[in-house]
Structure 1
Amino acid sequence: MEVVIRKSEVCGCASPPPSKSYTHRAFIISSLSRKSKLENCLISDDTLATLSACRKIGAEFVRRKEITFWGVDEIHASGYFYMANSGTTLRLFLGLLALSKSGKYSLLDGDESLRKRPNFQLVSALKSLGAEFRGYSDFKPPIWVKGLVKGGRVELEAPSSQFLSSLLISLPLAKGDSEVRVYNLKSRPYVNITIDVLSMSGIKLSIENNSFYIKGGQRYNLRRFRVPADFTSASYLIAAGLLAGKVIIKDVFESEQGDRKIIEICKEMGGSIRWNKEKGEIYVEMSELEGVEIDASDIPDLVPTIAILGAVAKGKTKIENAEHLRIKEIDRLKGIYTNLKSLGVEVKQLEDGLVIYGGKKEFKGTVNSFGDHRMALAFSLLGLLGEVRIINAEVVSVSFPNYFDVLKSLGALIFQE
């Protein structure tokens, strides 16, 4: 699907979808709890992959206005697990299926994009804890895993926070206690999201410096949980207001999401933005923006949003410590660089980031999502200042299924071709 976004002014109220990160974790932990009720879950391509995998390990659920789960006490699953394009589903289930008592291998696979994503560090940690694996280079999918993780002490190199989250979710169910010592952890706020849901489920762990101590033999008990709004998705609505009008983003309350830092970043850029935390409302108005320097180590998913704002902002925007973006759905740094260049923006690619020379007032051209939802979501916004065609725009369904309808409701001129 191709979508064209033409110059337009936006005005009105909109709500972002529920958090993808919280939804993944809530689905999995509900599958390990006796009975859970979940409200405001994100139903998207990625989270449907997680729901499918939850059913395969034996969980039952009923989807109505809320989702009711009946979980399993132990994992005895084996067989074929298709993770589609969801790296989170893949990594979290590598840990869970390493607990399976079936005595048989489970095969985890995904689409062409997922087959490019390495998992060597996570697999090495799970092997040292007792699991068995078979696979190919850097343990990119397909991956075969067989239990049984028993607990113990392990060191983990964590270029992806999903590796640590996988261990934190699985190890409470191991027979013995565990200590995970972590090095070079990226995207720490996503680990905080995991810990937040674990604590609501009655799981005990302690943290000292870079070491995580997890008691074995625990049981999950997530009874009721409401998924908060997704701050990464909110960043696109915020950017729409800053670039082309006046927007109120509703239903955005405090949570452990690191991407709430978008508000601080936009203020630093000179944006007119205010967050009423009690009401859960963010007020944004069109603003003259200035370039900034950003450390993206903990906010990788905000980089596309910051990049398109940097293309408009006066002066230079520098994004650093984002090398982990090269192993996302695509090499996201390269994708951003390519799309900015195609729209006439002066940009330099660094090993760990980008330097964007902004000040551009109008954008006309064609960009490619490269199959990455965040490319389509972010670059569509530059069409509000000209005319931008998005190739493979349908990928927004991964995290923000009704995105183009929401933009239309704010007054954006959007045409599907």
Structure 2
Amino acid sequence: MSAPSSPHSSHAAAQPLSIRASGPLRGEVAVPGDKSISHRSLMLSALAVGTSQISGLLEGEDVIATAAAVRAMGAQAERLGPGEWRVSGVGVGGLLQPTQALDMGNSGTSTRLLMGLVASHPITATFVGDASLSGRPMGRVIAPLSDMGADITPAPGGRLPLTVRGLYPAVPIRYTLPVASAQVKSAILLAGLNTPGTTTVIEPVPTRDHSERMLAGFGAQLTVEPTPEGRVIMLTGEAELKPQTIVVPGDPSSAAFFAVAATIVPGSDITILNVGLNPTRSGLFAALRAMGADIEEVSPRTVGGEPVADLRVRHARLTACDPDPAAAPSMIDEFPVLFVAAALAKGTSRIAGIEEMRVKESDRIATMAAGLTAIGVSVEELPDGLVVHGRDGEPFAGGGPIATRLDHRIAMSFAVAGLHASAPVEIDDAAPIATSFPNFLPLLRTVGAAC
């Protein structure tokens, strides 16, 4: 199958952004639905027999790419209203041959997880993406899926465009993750759904566990056991998934930007509503509290098997941090905005053990180092992290334009930095923010930001 060019491959026209300090941030915000849970809700609903209802779905470009892909493989995914979706599944084993390449836009999660779905079905699918996604290596998911029998042909360097020829019946494997990755774990488990026998994944370092929680919720036979070698996850294949009613909690990765903003801007007091606090995802809030942040959990509750609370965050003076690398998987997407917090702390923060950040939407270590330097922060780049010399609350100098490298989290992190800067912070392109948080800038304005 030939791979047509992706409509996302040349990014839309750049949207420069200037953001400046505007005084205290006040009020309530409701962040979009959790991105990880949104992706998985669509995929597992597409494999269930019957109709699932989803509310609170994140409607950023990444999740919409997943919705389009499951439609292309036979599921019916219908938007009923803002965040409200109805999905009629084809059943495990029932995916249909897509008639054209699956355009993943900028979404690495969509790509890796859907590769797992296709790998154990007797279909062939070609994955394409934008320039940023096409530069990201897929080798760590290609290896286990190939062990299961899928025939995968990537572009040079294990990159997109990439074609997966699934095998049925696929071969169950026992696989120890060489690098902590929820995406690789999830791809193997999703492939295991249509694989006879038991598929086993061993996690030496725990990663976000939304896939395990949701697979069990949909009726898959799955066990998770702590052992000396790590978490052992065993899935019995040829599953029959039952449709569900899913309420997606607010995304902690999106909430992180407002938590840091309220922490660093003097006089601020923000409540972030309905935030998912899954312990495999909430490392950023623990790190901020260790630095002295004032974060209060209000009305803690459980929604759909996930812990949720409202977070009240007030301005606080921060001290430097040296986070445990073992906690990195629980906050891997939040390190860019943690660097911003560290840059305003008292003392020097050494944040290491996060080499995974070099293969995200951009090389986030190098990109953040360059951007922080441009707004007056002294940093030292490490192979696996950054040393950040804090300014003890002194505003950033401002400046730019900051190169975001088509990375939504870089753009949002420097927007937050601009809220406590002596001069405006200029960002070269805010357009990528739409991939995960389409209403980020309007929400910032509602609590008093000037952007």
Q: What TM-score do the two structures reach when normalised by structure 1? A: 0.93
**In the alignment, what sits opposite 2:376?**
344
How big is each residue's C-alpha offset from its partner over 1:214-267, in whole Å with a ceiling of 9 and x where there is no partner?
111111113100001001111111111111132332333554263323222222
**What residue in structure 2 maps to residue 2 of structure 1?**
16
Instruction: Name the counterpart of 2:220.
Output: 203
Contact residue 177 and residue 201 of structure 2 kept, 8 A: no
Aligned to 1:132: 151
Counterpart Cα distance in 1 of 2:438 and 2:79: 18
Alignment partner, residue 293 of structure 1: 322
Identity, in percent, stands at 28
Q: Indicate yes or no: 2:67 matched with 1:67.
A: no
Superposed, 1:394-409 pairs within 5 Å as 394-409=431-446
Aligned residue type for 2:221: K
**Aligned counterpart, 1:282:** 311
The Cα of 1:351 is off from its aligned counterpart by 1.0
The alpha-carbon distance between structure 1 residues 311 and 253, as it changes in their structure 2 partners (threshold 3 A), is closer
What is aligned with 2:198? 177
SS at match of 2:173: strand
Point out where structure 2 has 5 or more consecutive residues left out of the alignment.
Answer: 1-14, 302-308
Aligned-residue Cα RMSD (Å) equals 1.8
SS in 1 for 2:425: strand
User: Shift in Å at residue 413 of structure 1?
Assistant: 1.1
CA contact (8 A) 1:40 1:228 kept: yes
Amino acid at match of 1:41: L
Cα distance in 2, alignment partners of residues 341 and 371 from structure 1: 19
- Per-residue deviation, residues 309-336 of structure 1 (Å, max 9, x unmatched): 0111110111111100111011011111
Map of 2:395 onto structure 1: 362
Note the C-alpha offset of 1:93: 1.0
Query: Of 7, 19, 23, which residue of structure 1 is paired with 2:34?
Result: 19
Task: Give 1:11 deviation, angstroms.
Answer: 1.2
| CA distance, structure 1, for counterparts of residue 377 and residue 242 of structure 2 | 51
Q: Which secondary structure state, in structure 2, belongs to the residue aligned with residue 329 of structure 1?
A: coil
Alpha carbons 2:134, 2:160 under 8 Å: kept: yes
Cα 1:138/1:213, change in 2 over 3 Å = farther
Post-superposition offset of 1:176: 3.0
Alignment of 1:162-241 (within 5 A): 162-182=183-203, 185=205, 188-190=206-208, 192-208=209-225, 209=227, 210=230, 211-241=232-262
1:117 alignment partner in structure 2: 136
In the alignment, structure 1 segments of 5+ residues that lack a partner are: none
Greater per-residue helix proportion: 1
Could you tell me whether the CA contact under 8 Å between 1:121 and 1:157 is conserved in 2? no
2:147 counterpart letter in structure 1: S
2:125 corresponds in structure 1 to 106
Alpha-carbon shift at residue 374 of structure 1 (Å): 0.3
Q: Is the 8 A contact 1:178 1:215 kept in 2?
A: yes
Segment of structure 1 superposing worse, 162-171 or 269-278: 269-278
Of 41, 50, 59, which aligns to 2:57? 41
Deviation at 1:53? 0.5
List 4+ stretches of structure 1 deviating above 4 A.
Answer: none
Cα distance, 1:380 vs structure 2: 0.8
- Taking a change above 3 Å as real, the CA distance of residues 236 and 134 of structure 1, as seen in their structure-2 partners, is same
TM-score (norm 2): 0.86
Q: Deviations along 1:358-393, whole A, 9 cap, x unmatched?
A: 116122111122110000111111111222111111
Q: Kindly indicate whether the alpha-carbon contact (under 8 Å) linking 1:193 and 1:257 is maintained by their aligned counterparts in 2.
A: no
Which amino acid in structure 1 is aligned with residue 35 of structure 2? Answer: K
Task: Give 1:262's aligned residue.
Answer: 284
**1:329 pairs with one of 361, 376, 392:** 361
Q: Secondary structure at the match of 1:67?
A: strand
1:36-66 deviation line (CA, Å, top 9, x unaligned): 0000000001111111101111010221132
Mark the CA change 1:267 to 1:39 in structure 2 (over 3 Å): closer, same or farther.
same
Describe the shift of the 1:179–1:164 C-alpha distance in structure 2 as closer, same or farther (beyond 3 A). same
